[in-house]
Amino acid sequence: MENLTAIQKEQDLKNFEIKQNRRLLIGKIIVLMTIISSILIVFIDLIIFNNFNFLNIFDIVANVIFSLLLYLGIVWIKYLFVVFAAYNLYNIVVLFLNLLSYKASLGALIFVSFIILYNFSVCILLLINKYVQEFLYSQKYK
């Protein structure tokens, strides 16, 4: 009987480790996708507007540094990402409403809608997703 409980405890521990590793992997994927998309958006913005100046280069460098700090588990950077995403969300919603009033093309409206969904998703995932919180916590105390 004692052997059975020891085997059961060992199996429960293995199941917990498997679940924990899965949660950490999902959190890591969410954080990495947020980081990669954030950096890509800065580069796409730079390419589309063809505006190479000191401020844009500073924006790229700052974005890369903040992304690295987020990956390392610095918690206040998570809130900085959320604030920037919320600020961008507000600006993009205003842009969307302006596009609607000027009867913009369907492609432009879909593109702006995608950006709205992206910024909203970043806010929600970084703020309340438990997998992200667990991943950042594990990175902080590695």
Q: Give the global pTM.
A: 0.80
Residues spanned by the domain of 37: 2-140
Please give the tally of structural domains in the chain. 1
How many Å from the N-terminal Cα to the C-terminal Cα in the chain? 38
What is the band of 9 on the pLDDT scale with cuts at 50, 70, 90?
confident
The whole-number pLDDT of residue 24 equals 93
DSSP three-state, residue 23: helix
Measure the CA–CA gap between 29 and 35, rounded to whole angstroms: 10
What is the band of 14 on the pLDDT scale with cuts at 50, 70, 90?
very high
Task: Determine if residue 103 is left, alpha or beta; phi over 0 gives left, psi from -120 to 50 gives alpha, anything else beta.
Answer: left
Given a cut of 70, whether residue 2 has pLDDT beyond it is no
What is the band of 71 on the pLDDT scale with cuts at 50, 70, 90?
very high
